[in-house]
Amino acid sequence: MSRPTGTPPGTERTPRVVAARKLLRRAGRDRAGRFLVEGAQAVREALDSAAVHELFVTDEAAARHPDLLDGPDRITVVDERAAESLSDTVTPQGIVAVCSLLDVPVADALRGTPRLVAVCAGIADPGNAGTVIRVADAAGADAVLLAGDTVDPHNGKAVRASTGSVFHLPLARDRDAGAVLDACSAAGLTLLVADGHGELDLHDPAADAVLAGPVAWVFGGEAHGVPDAVAARADHRVRVPIHGRAESLNLATAAAVCLYASVAAARRRSW
């Protein structure tokens, strides 16, 4: 796509760019009901999910990715500085989509008969939250719930860390962590809290009956783990055994180990 001859690109001061820039902040996202997605692959995922309202693109990025220009109803060509103002990365890619917020009510995310759900409880780092969403998607989870003071999954870093998985499975968020756990229990899910000092060893063969689900795995922040009030609600606290000298596993690794352990246990019990 190229701009019509004599038509200048949008700048940092173009009203549509100014409005979109407000979506870099959580308050702006919640107020508008929209968020920004940057980069060709993430925009491609957004287009596939029909979540895109508008696309901002530089001439150079448009030339690199002509396949992405057929879907959006509104495309605004902008200069490099305008594109940079819509980015929170060190190396902006020149292509940014404005998308509808993705989260749904917790009840909708748990509709049907979920068997594997990931709950992020008190995760402050957006990269960690996005990676848990990515891991949950890879493990075939039915939903990801963000409970309590967990970071917004529409944060730019969270979206990038998810590598598009935010568009692949239901996301729900609720500041009332207790209400999220109540909803999981009401949906028939056993609450498993990942805890380095848990009473249930993930590798104990006797744990298979629990891990096979249906379960909701609850993961806490990297530094402080699952909040005490949330951990107290667990049906089981499950520890990932450390066989070497490492002090612990990071959050994303622990989430992958736990979610895949449930997948493996469920398959073993179905044989």
Residue where a domain stops, chosen among 49, 84, 100 = 100
| In a shared domain, residues 40 and 63 | yes
Task: Name the percent of the chain in helix, strand, coil, to the closest 5.
Answer: 40, 20, 40
| In a shared domain, residues 29 and 66 | yes
| In a shared domain, residues 162 and 201 | yes
Beta strands in 150-270 (DSSP E): 171-174, 190-194, 200-201, 215-219, 236-239
SS3 assignment, position 67: helix
8 occurs within a structural domain: no
- pLDDT for res 73: 80
Q: What is the CATH number of the domain that holds 161?
A: 3.40.1280.10
Residue where a domain stops, chosen among 100, 120, 137 = 100
Q: Supply the range of the domain harboring residue 142.
A: 106-270
Flag whether pLDDT at 4 surpasses 50.
no
| In a shared domain, residues 181 and 73 | no
Instruction: Identify the band that residue 248 occupies on the pLDDT scale cut at 50, 70 and 90.
Output: confident
| In a shared domain, residues 191 and 241 | yes
Flag whether pLDDT at 3 surpasses 60.
no
Flag whether pLDDT at 7 surpasses 80.
no
157 or 223, higher pLDDT: 157
Flag whether pLDDT at 5 surpasses 70.
no
| In a shared domain, residues 167 and 110 | yes
Residue where a domain stops, chosen among 52, 79, 100 = 100
Share of the chain above pLDDT 90, in %: 77
Distance between CA atoms of 253 and 132, rounded to whole angstroms? 9
pLDDT tens, position by position, 58-83: 999 999 999 999 878 899 999 999 99
Q: Cβ contacts of residue 10 below 8 Å, gap of 6+?
A: 16, 17, 56, 76, 77, 78, 79, 82
85 occurs within a structural domain: yes
The DSSP 8-state label assigned to residue 33 in this structure reads T
57 membership: H or E segment, kind and range: strand 52-57
Q: What is the CATH number of the domain that holds 32?
A: 3.30.1330.30
What average pLDDT score do residues 203-210 get? Answer: 90
Distance between CA atoms of 127 and 46, rounded to whole angstroms? 19
| In a shared domain, residues 116 and 233 | yes
Q: Which range (5-9, 46-50, 64-68, 254-258) has the least confidence?
A: 5-9
| In a shared domain, residues 188 and 249 | yes
Flag whether pLDDT at 155 surpasses 50.
yes
Instruction: Identify the band that residue 1 occupies on the pLDDT scale cut at 50, 70 and 90.
Output: very low
Flag whether pLDDT at 255 surpasses 50.
yes
| Number of domains present in the structure of the chain | 2
119 membership: H or E segment, kind and range: strand 116-121
pLDDT tens, position by position, 89-145: 888 999 999 999 999 999 999 999 999 999 999 999 999 999 999 999 999 999 999
| In a shared domain, residues 132 and 79 | no
What average pLDDT score do residues 226-243 get? Answer: 90
- pLDDT for res 2: 43
24 membership: H or E segment, kind and range: none
pLDDT tens, position by position, 33-45: 999 999 999 999 9
